[in-house]
Chain A
Amino acid sequence: MSTEAVSGTTGTLLVVDDDPDMQRLLALWLRAAGHTVRTVSSAAEALTQVCIARPELVITDLRMEGMDGMALVSRLLGDAPSLPVVMLSGAAAIPDALAATRLGASAFLTKPPTREALLAEVARQLERSQSGGSRQGSFGAGFVHRSSVIAALLEEAALLAKGDISIMISGATGTGKEVLARAIHAGSPRGDKPFIGINCGAIPEQLLESELFGHEKGAFTGAATRHEGLFVAADGGTLFLDEIGDMPVSLQVKLLRVLQDLEVRPVGAVRGTPIDVRVISATHQDLEQLMLAGEFREDLYYRLNGVSLHIPALGERREDIAPLTGWFLARHAARTRTSLKRFDADALALLVSAPWPGNARQLANVVEQCATLAREDLIPLSLTQRALRGHAGQIQTLKEAREDFDRQYLVSVMRLANGNVATAARLAGRNRTEFYKLLEQHRIEAAQFRSDLGP
């Protein structure tokens, strides 16, 4: 037998053939070469299998009862554009097989296939898709998942990352919009340039304008020094505009102009600075509704939404809960340098069935809390129930929400004032003593804002 493929690229494969003898033969060859193989007898079963657990490659017969291989290819590639499909067909059906490759199948082999030809083709397809970085590779490594819906999303994102089109990410709070934006940036040709994110909803209008576009010294009261702005800071890289739906309409006009002219003019500046920035924006709101209500500019929407990606809520992809939980536990252990904890079976079952209105972020908080409070390495159901109750509905108390806002506001003002507390206090309309108290309360140190942003 040929064993050379054992040392080559291996993967998880799905074999689709309605002839059981053929199925057995292909499975034996592929397993002997080190691949993990599942077999099904119909295209319909194949579609179900792909939904349950996405394989890295599909090998399918062309002629099958019911849905044939051709229809399967078009269905598969609609859902997973870069999933390699190898088609097997009799010599008489070569024209059909060629049509299938035009449809998107990666390759075809004539039946009866030889072992060598099959293994070589499988290895070639796996290598191509894995080295393309589009699947299972490094892309989106931070986006822990098991669901095929996220696998498909990452696949699409990996392809989009290579280009320069502006991307709009939608999804509820805590679904991982920034994680995805970072993955796209990292997988893009701009990956070694800055990724700068800003939450457009957390900053008052004047500050947001200055943060984004920068300002000249003396441009307004309190602008004691020049501030270059995030567009300039992100030059060559990616600017992530989170909660874009919260951006005031007046700033939307300015943003649109920057995106159209590829030039940013800091507040108070006479001349513009050319910029080369890819913009990824995100929102949990329905921007089309906002447009209808006149709260979001249509022209800006189309400028930002070159292509849109939607991250489904965690409740719509429960198979991701267990792997995410494992990942958060590992992160907790690494951060706190403690032993790796795990949930007992009942506790994990509870996590998997919980509602998660706050999505992955809420799950992270619950896992973090359990891992911190657990005395043993095995986290029990009772502790998990308590943590879940504590995070019910993920609604912050008014006090927590105010504190969050204050913290973000103080950080913005301090950044704008380059760490000068007197200036920051003036901008915020507070006296210096009071302002110092606020900084202290939130453990914000002025020095942190001085070093990185000189005039």
Chain B
Amino acid sequence: MSAPHDAERTPILVEVERDLAELIPGFLANRANDVVSVRALVSRDDLQSVCRIGHSMKGSGGGYGFDTITRLGGEMEQAARAGDGTKVLALADELEDFLARVRPVFS
């Protein structure tokens, strides 16, 4: 990257169970897809679908070891339910940033 911003230079280390190693890349890639989906859904004003995506993230994140994803998912679900598209987009940015910096450390 030619002009990395600060965030990319500060990795977030997350301890993950070793036997989940194989599943982690797929899981994180799916969250990256969620960021794209959520932005598209907000632009179409489909907050109900955003609500479901947030709910899923909330349910699975912690299990994989990513409590941040569970927190962001929960907040996204709430914001979508409240009809707050702006908040949803801010959370999507936060998720994108997290995904860019997260570095799983297998224990």
Contact = CB atoms under 8 A, between A and B. Distances in A.
Q: Do A and B come from one complex?
A: yes
Contact of A21 (B55, B64, B70): B64
A28 B60 contact: no
A61 B17 CA distance: 23
A19 B56 contact: yes
A63 interface: yes
Interface of B: 17-20, 23, 26-27, 30, 55-56, 58-64, 70
Contacts of B58: 90, 111-112
B17 A19 contact: no
17 contacts: A1-B17, A1-B19, A19-B56, A19-B60, A20-B30, A21-B30, A22-B63, A24-B23, A24-B27, A25-B23, A25-B27, A25-B60, A25-B63, A25-B64, A61-B59, A63-B55, A114-B62
A112 B60 contact: yes
A61 B56 CA distance: 11
A1 B18 contact: yes
A257 interface: no
Given A19-B60, A21-B26, 10 more contacts: A21-B30, A25-B27, A25-B64, A32-B19, A88-B59, A111-B58, A112-B59, A112-B62, A114-B62, A115-B17
Contacts of A28: 19-20, 23
Q: Size class of A's contact patch?
A: 10 to 19
Main secondary structure of the interface of B (DSSP, over half): helix
A21 B60 contact: yes
A18 to B, nearest CB: 8
Max count, chain B CB within 10 A of own CB: residue among A1, A20, A88, A112: A112
A114 B59 CA distance: 11
Nearest to A112: B62
Interface string A1-33: 100000000000000000111101110100010
A142 interface: no
Interface string A88-119: 10100000000000000000000111110000
A63 B51 CA distance: 12
A49 B23 CA distance: 25
B20 A25 contact: yes
A22 B23 contact: no
A431 B64 CA distance: 87
User: Top 4 closest A-B pairs, CB basis?
Assistant: A112-B62, A111-B59, A112-B63, A22-B60
B63 A113 contact: yes
Nearest to B107: A1
A22 B66 CA distance: 13
Contacts of B63: 22, 25-26, 112-115
Nearest to A113: B63
Nearest to A61: B59
Contacts of A63: 55
A111 B70 CA distance: 9
B27 A21 contact: yes
Contacts of B59: 19, 22, 61, 88, 90, 111-112
B30 to A, nearest CB: 6
Interface string A48-91: 00000000000001010000000000000000000000001010
B83 to A, nearest CB: 17
Contacts of B19: 1, 28, 32
Nearest to A65: B52
Nearest to B19: A1
Interface in A107-134: 111-115
B29 to A, nearest CB: 10
A314 B50 CA distance: 51
Max count, chain B CB within 10 A of own CB: residue among A19, A20, A63: A19
Contacts of A111: 58-60
Contacts of A88: 59
A206 B86 CA distance: 91
Contacts of B26: 21, 24
A115 B64 CA distance: 10
A246 B95 CA distance: 76
Max count, chain A CB within 10 A of own CB: residue among B17, B30, B56, B63: B63
A28 B20 CA distance: 8
Given A28-B23, A112-B61, A112-B62, A22 B56 contact: yes
A112 B30 contact: no
A25 B26 CA distance: 11
A28 B7 CA distance: 32
B92 to A, nearest CB: 18
B15 to A, nearest CB: 12
Interface in A390-432: none
A109 B10 CA distance: 35
Contacts of A32: 19
Max count, chain A CB within 10 A of own CB: residue among B30, B60, B70: B60
